[in-house]
Structure formats: structure tokens, C-alpha cells
């Protein structure tokens, strides 16, 4: 068993990671063998049974989950799903889980560190969800003490191990739970868990999953993503994916996709350090205070002083005008995050965030900045 500590900083304040992914790669690499169709949810009455159980008020609170087809009451296998645990306006946990059988028990143990949780389990090698051989994982999280909690589920894949469901309209479920002073947990009044009803709308090119665009002859750099999604290439298999802009830093941190700052940062540290720095840049407190979501990485510029041996870089981020709370920024918002490169660290006092005065087109060439 492997224990990882996942730290929830500002970028993880989402209701679920939204991803349009291709299927996982195989050794042969042919499109026919790689392609796994998305499950046809119009033929499934997808339902989720969620029940908390505990042997005593001070014991772990065990969340029993079952994904099943209500039409024939059979289990739906190979479920990958995100769980958010929310209290008030604070997200206490956000992570991805996987069950081969369609059922899972998550044993919650109360923790003391706000914004941190620990999962004791192994990682599914295809999509990276937490799992175990007996479909039971232990989670330590600062939750399920006295109060009311909202548990939000968002499905990533079903039926096939890499059978990604349409993430424009993913199946989601919500339930609310109350914990009393003695530590007893029960479903909150008027709480409901809603089954998914799929839609069948016609879509254009940019609405098609990246793999379908690739199969139709579109080159990888020309693949179109929906608004607020960005195109990335999966490191294993080199397949394209359209991901929510707020997801990029977390996938970089996990090593799922290439780090946009590799060219800069690998000169001053290893890949693990570089990935952590990119994650911290995208989650710089001043940036997230301006807007909790929607930030996109644009580019960077490099500066050096041979006399003082000081090396630095400025990272440029952008935010669309229709995202976040600053609708007064008609041309969107910008953020500048300055890095000291020896050692690599954020110069927090130099972070700058504000409204764009005019719609700018940034086309910075890092090589020019090095001259």
C-alpha cells in the first residue's frame, strides 16, 4: 500500500476536474487498438447508492458506494469518479477514485489539518484514481465532525477502464449529511441523490472528443477545444486531451502531461521540482484571490544579469472577461508571477494582478528574451 499526501490549495477549489480524454495507450500504438468507445449512457439508467455506516460514534465513517443500472439492477463496472467533500464554502477534499467492480467503501477518519487529506491506497495505472484490491480505501480528512456536509460525485469513466464519458455533461450526484455532537452521521433532511439523465444534442467539430478529431484527419496542433478548455498532450502515448484550464496544474503535478515551463525550469532543477513550481505559479494566492478559477497559462519571459548572477523569469497568465467576479474587466484580466531561478522560488511581493486595459495579443519569444 502506498500513502500519498495530497494538499488542497486554491486551484483544487472546483466541483470536479473536467477532462475530455482519449483512451489510454497500448504497446502497439494503432488507433484501432487504442480506441475505446465512450459508454452509451442513453442505454443505461445510471444510479448511485451512497450510504454511511459506522460501528460507533468515534469510529471511521464508512461511505458505501454502488454504481448500478436501475433498469436491470446490475452493477456498472470500471467506475472512475471524483469526490468533493464540502462544508459551507470550503472544499475539504477533492480526489479521483476507481472501482473495478462498481462498488467501493471509503473509510473516512477525521483529520486536523484544514486543506489536507491523506489517501491510503494504490493508483489505477490508466486514469490515476485511488483504488485497492478489495475496493476499500482509507482517507484521513478534516471532515465529518459536527456539522453539515455536501458530498458531490462526478463520473469520469464507466464500463471500460478508459471509457471516458462525455465531460460536457458528466453524470453527477449530490447528497447532504449531518453529524451531531456525539459524532453520529445521518442523511440531512430533504437530501437527494440524483440519477443521471443523458442528453443527445448534435455537436460541431470542437465539441467532438480530441481522439475523434484526430481520427478524422485533424493534426494534433489544430485540434479544437470548447471554451475554457485547453489542449494538452498526454505524456504516455502522446494523445491529445482537452482539459479544463483549472485542471492543467494538477495534471502537470501528477506527471500526466508536459509542463509548459520545462524549457525554463529544467535548467535549474529536476522534473518533480519543475512540476511543483508550475503548480504553485498557477495557484499563487494573489492570483486566486482575484479569481478562483479560469486562469490560463500564456507564456514567460526570461531575464539575467551576468554581473549580479541574478536570473529571473516572469510568468504571464490570463483570465477571460466572463469568468470569475471581475466582470468590470471588459478585456479580461492578467497576472504576472515573478520567479527567482537560483534557487527557484516565487517572488511573492512582485506578483501583479489586474484588468487588461486593452485586448492584448501576447507572442513572446523566449529566445529573444535571452539575448
pLDDT-derived band at 106 (thresholds 50, 70, 90) equals very high
pLDDT band for position 75 (50/70/90)? very high
Bridge partners of residue 123, in order along the sequence: 130
Judged by average pLDDT, the poorest of 28-32, 132-136, 268-272 is: 28-32
- Mean pLDDT across the stretch 177-203? 67
**Lowest-pLDDT range, 18-27, 72-81, 89-98, 161-170?**
18-27
Angular region, 88: left φ>0, alpha ψ -120 to 50, beta rest: left
Residue whose grid cell is 473516512: 108
pLDDT band, very low/low/confident/very high, at 237 (cuts 50, 70, 90): low
As a whole number of angstroms, the distance between CA 267 and CA 304 comes to: 14
203-to-19, 157, 207, 218, 305 alpha-carbon distances in Å: 17, 20, 5, 17, 52
Record the cell numbers describing residue 18, joined without a space: 473536467
* Mean predicted confidence (pLDDT) in 13-42: 44
Give the pLDDT band of residue 191 (cuts 50, 70, 90): low
Phi/psi at 84 (nearest 5 deg)? -110, 130
The answer to whether residue 39 scores a pLDDT higher than 90 is no
What is the pTM for the complete model shown? 0.55
pLDDT of residue 194: 60
pLDDT-wise least confident of 1-5, 79-83, 237-241: 1-5
- CATH architecture entry for 2-187: Sandwich (2.60)
The predicted model gives 343-362 an average pLDDT of 80
Over range 13-24, report the average pLDDT. Answer: 35
2, pLDDT greater than 80: no
DSSP 300-349: EEEEEETTTTEEEEEEEEEE-TTSSS-TT-TT-EEEEEEEEETTEEE-GG
User: What does the pLDDT look like over 259-277, one tens digit per residue?
Assistant: 999 999 999 989 999 999 9
Please name the residues in contact with 80: beta carbons below 8 A apart, sequence gap of 6 or more: 96, 97, 98, 124, 127, 129, 155, 156, 157, 158
Q: Give the mean pLDDT of 270-291.
A: 91
Distances (CA, A) of 194 to 172, 176, 353: 8, 12, 39
Please give the pLDDT value at position 24: 37
Report pLDDT for 270.
Answer: 92
Q: What is the pLDDT of residues 46-66, one digit of tens each?
A: 888 889 988 776 678 999 999
* Residue 318 CB contacts under 8 Å (≥ 6 apart), including other chains: 295, 296, 298, 332, 333, 334, 335, 356, 362
Measure the CA–CA gap between 293 and 311, rounded to whole angstroms. Answer: 30
In the predicted structure, residue 319 carries a pLDDT above the cut 70:
yes
pLDDT of residue 25: 35
pLDDT at position 27: 34
Residue 107 pLDDT greater than 50, yes or no = yes
Q: How far apart are the C-alpha atoms of 340 and 96, rounded to whole Å? A: 33
**With b meaning 16 or more CB within 10 Å and e meaning fewer, what string describes 314-334?**
bbbbbbbbebbebeebeebbb
Going by pLDDT thresholds of 50, 70 and 90, the confidence category of residue 44 is: confident
The larger pLDDT score, comparing residue 207 to residue 115, is at: 115
pLDDT at 14: 32
Note whether 336 and 312 are within 8 A (CB).
Answer: no
Per-residue cell: 111: 483529520
- Grid cell locating 336: 504576472
The pLDDT of 345-362, averaged and rounded, is: 80
> Cβ-count burial of 152 within 10 angstroms (0-12 exposed, 13-18 middle, 19+ buried)?
middle
Give the up-direction half-sphere exposure of residue 171: CA atoms within 13 A in the CB hemisphere: 27
pLDDT band at 160 (very low <50, low <70, confident <90, very high): confident
How high does pLDDT run on average in the chain? 78
Where along the chain do its domains lie?
2-187, 261-370
In this model, does residue 202 exceed pLDDT 50?
A: no
Three cell numbers written together for 85: 467533500
Residue 190's pLDDT is 53
Amino acid at each position: 500500500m502506498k500513502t500519498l499526501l495530497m494538499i488542497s490549495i486554491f486551484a483544487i477549489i472546483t466541483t470536479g476536474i473536467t477532462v475530455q480524454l482519449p483512451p489510454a495507450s497500448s504497446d502497439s500504438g494503432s488507433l484501432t487498438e487504442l480506441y475505446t468507445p465512450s459508454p452509451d449512457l442513453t442505454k443505461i439508467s445510471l444510479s448511485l447508492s451512497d450510504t454511511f455506516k459506522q460501528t460507533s460514534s468515534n469510529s471511521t465513517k464508512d461511505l458505501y458506494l454502488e454504481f448500478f443500472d436501475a433498469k436491470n439492477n446490475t452493477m456498472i463496472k470500471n467506475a472512475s469518479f471524483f469526490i468533493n467533500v464540502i462544508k459551507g464554502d470550503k472544499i475539504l477534499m477533492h480526489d479521483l477514485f476507481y472501482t473495478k467492480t462498481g462498488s467501493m467503501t471509503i473509510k473516512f477518519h477525521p483529520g486536523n489539518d484544514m486543506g489536507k487529506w491523506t489517501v491510503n491506497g494504490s493508483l489505477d495505472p490508466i486514469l490515476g484514481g485511488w483504488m485497492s484490491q478489495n475496493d476499500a480505501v482509507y482517507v484521513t480528512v478534516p471532515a465529518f465532525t459536527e456539522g453539515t456536509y455536501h458530498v458531490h460525485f462526478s463520473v469520469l469513466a464507466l464500463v471500460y477502464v478508459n471509457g471516458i464519458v462525455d465531460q460536457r455533461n458528466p453524470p453527477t450526484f449530490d447528497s447532504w449529511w449531518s453529524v451531531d455532537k456525539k459524532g453520529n452521521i445521518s442523511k440531512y433532511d430533504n437530501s437527494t441523490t440524483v440519477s443521471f439523465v443523458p442528453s443527445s444534442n448534435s455537436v460541431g467539430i470542437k465539441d467532438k472528443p480530441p481522439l475523434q478529431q484526430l481520427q478524422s484527419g485533424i493534426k494534433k496542433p489544430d485540434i479544437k477545444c470548447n471554451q475554457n478548455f485547453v489542449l494538452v498532450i498526454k505524456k504516455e502515448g502522446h494523445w491529445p486531451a482537452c482539459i479544463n484550464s483549472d485542471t492543467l496544474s494538477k495534471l502537470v503535478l501528477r506527471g500526466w502531461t508536459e509542463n509548459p515551463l520545462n524549457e525554463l525550469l529544467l535548467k535549474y532543477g529536476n522534473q518533480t521540482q519543475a512540476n511543483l513550481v508550475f503548480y504553485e505559479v498557477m495557484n499563487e494566492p494573489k492570483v486566486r484571490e482575484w479569481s478562483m478559477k479560469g486562469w490560463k497559462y500564456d507564456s514567460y519571459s526570461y531575464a539575467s544579469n551576468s554581473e549580479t548572477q541574478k536570473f529571473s523569469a516572469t510568468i504571464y497568465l490570463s483570465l477571460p472577461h466572463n469568468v470569475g467576479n471581475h466582470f468590470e474587466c471588459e478585456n479580461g484580466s492578467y497576472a504576472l508571477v515573478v520567479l527567482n531561478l537560483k534557487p527557484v522560488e516565487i517572488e511573492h511581493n512582485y506578483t501583479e494582478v489586474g484588468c487588461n486595459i486593452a485586448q492584448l495579443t501576447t507572442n513572446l519569444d523566449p529566445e529573444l528574451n535571452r539575448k
